[in-house]
Structure 1
Amino acid sequence: MSRGPRSDAARRDWGTQEDGCSILHVDMDAFFASVELARRPQLRGLPVIVGGAQRGVVLAATYEARAYGVHSAMPMAAALRLCPQAVVVPPDHHAYREVSAGVMEILGSVTSLLEQVSVDEAFLDVSGARRRLGPPTAIAAEIRRQVQARYGITCSVGIGATKFVAKLASGHAKPDGVLLVPKAATVEFLHVLPVGALWGVGERTQQALERWGIRTVAELAHNDVQVVERAVGRAAGRHLHDLSWGRDPRPVEPTREERSIGAEETFVTDVDDLTVVEAKVRELADRCASRLRSRSLMGRTVTLKVRSSDFRTLTRSRTLDSPTDVGREIYLHARDLLAGVDLEGLPVRLVGVRVEGLGSAAQAVRQPTLDEAVLERDDARREAEIAMDRVRERFGRSAISAGAGDVRPDGTRSTTTFVPADLS
């Protein structure tokens, strides 16, 4: 969910004329928190925060917690200072992915023109579904009914003539509402908004515009485009000026290419033992590889992210000769990158691994190394990791994990570590 500024004036009834308004933006309300409340109904009505413990960040917060100023991406320590009575729930990403997949299945039954933009939001073009399912408002009502009935969570829906307007409308419909912005009312709707509501206007861009006296979308629209370009740059200025008049030709794109897959973790306490950091890198690399395989993807670039105790963030990348989806290979490159990071003697607060340069595994051309060609180790590792995927799918990630392992009689090391778990 976007935390962009909103306007009370934009929440009003803009009319019921639905002609030309076939774009829906469906956004789950406080998604992670809502999933947790559906699983723990005794927490309803309480300020609930989903995220890591003291050292983590807020992934989601119920509206009761938001009333205290808590929001996603906020450090957990800061959130608990604002709302010390909050109930903190650790995240369960497996559950969130399952619910997300089910919600997208509901949306996909409405139209094939579905563009998922994150785990909890999507655009739909329902122009071809209106004859079968009725006007967009009726379609929105049915989507919300099905999501609520099946998963016990709510969503908000914005309806407009363009993706940009539909997304803004869903934000103003929250929580658990629908807002239709008729095509004829698009400009009037936009011009009551603060300039920070525009797609692509972050804090720095907003400050740059305000230095030129531009604080609202209306002021931006009625300024000469050259003034806006001087404030934020030519390309961004022209784009924002178009948006301020409701001009957004981007269609709903059913297929979105995933550009990268990554995982990161903040340590409970700062870590100055690099062997502990390496072990976490191994775990994160394994997690990335598993996600790559689940999407039938391979990646060519491995990126390491390290944040030291003074909050300095360092990133290092390496492009491989051949794409991979093998956790062991991702780990070895990430470990080399870690060895080259100068932490200036400071302990590590956070570490992350990301794989970029993604492509279809079926179409990937992979050149094996000499060792792999002779010993066929890479195929064996892949098969072992696929077997681990199956165990985790059935029993959860904690049932089995990859690690350095023990030395075998032949001198090689096992790359699988079994973790005690109830597998009954």
Structure 2
Amino acid sequence: MNRLTAAIAASGFACFALLYTPQPVMPQIAAEYGLGPGSASLALSAATLALAVVVVPIAMLSERVGRRPVIVVSVLVAALLGLVLPFAPNYELFLGLRVLQGIAAAGVPAASMAYLADALDKKKLGAAMGAMIAGNSLGGMSGRLVTGMTVDWLGWRGSVLLAGVFGLVAALIVVFFLPKAQAMPKRAPSGMKAALKDPVLLSMYAVAVLLVGTFISFYNVAGFQLSGPAWLETLVFLFYGFGSTAAAFAGRLADRFGRGRVLLLCIAVLAAGALASLVWVPLGLAIVTAGFFASHTTASGWVAARAPSHARGQASGLYLAGFYVGSSIGGTSGATAYEEWGWGGLVLVLLGWLALAAMLVVCSQSSPVNSAPSGASRGTAPTPPYARYEGVGAAPRATRLDTKWAGEG
């Protein structure tokens, strides 16, 4: 892992560790502030909803001021807010700080994908994207584990503060190790239009909604199927370790075999995990977690590689907006299905979502590769006919003739 990839992974670690730290200590927060479960859940959803609202505007901002400044300011402000958060004297101020933290954290996912696409050639992009997603999953896991495992000794305020310290250390790694851009690329004014008119990109935004909706639904209702001490239930987040490994592996596979094929395989793993949960819920969660992070790595890498350079920020932002829409609306819909029809009914609903995602991927594989955008060199060799379709088995050498704009790697 080189300096650039390590710094991007650290930014994801810090962002997602800070974002999800309150989840394991919601009962303690509710007890201190006199809240019910619904009100206590705002400790998480206030930040994620704020992130979903601002991720596209911040992605557009990164097109103008540069990716690195957005990432650095984002991770530093989010970390500093994490240190202030446990000292909130009332729940209203706590939620206000969480909203600000969600807005601050949005800069990392909004700019990181486009930063990697700008800095690396496409043959290295999948592995780097896998490292980024691995950092995200490790951050989400670590933030939850730190608070969940220490709350009995430190109280929720002490455990959240400790997680904030971890986030600040990771943020400082980003500040000192993230390389400066070689040059600000020229940006055409039609980036949002380009990000919205490509059918493959539109499909990937929808795939993000379906995949994260499936994943969050499982974790939202798993607590109703599992029972035990609070620290023991927290250990379920160790499954995120499988996600980190699967994300890095999927990125390398996508570089070698093409994103379409690998994404279909990852969706099949997700479906297998859903079915396995009917036998034993922890086994299903482990497989689902690995399949989700692998599929997220592959789909986000497809977006970064497919989008024209002047639309990468907007395309990444729209993908992530879909991600957090799936997290909120999809997660709630899955919980409703569980309440109405039980675990078996939930699995059937989620298998339907995964089937729809697979159909979108199959359609995207047969979509023509983007032509070079305006401003591209007139001397660029055209893509040969046998390499004009995503996922179609052209020879590896041929698929790399247009490494900048092809949607498959």
- Indicate the TM-score class for this superposition, using the shorter chain for normalisation: under 0.3
Structure 1 or 2: larger helix share? 2
TM-score (structure 1 length as normaliser)? 0.24
Structure 1 or 2: larger strand share? 1
Relative CO higher for 1 or 2, CA cutoff 8 Å, sep ≥ 6? 2
TM-score (structure 2 length as normaliser)? 0.25
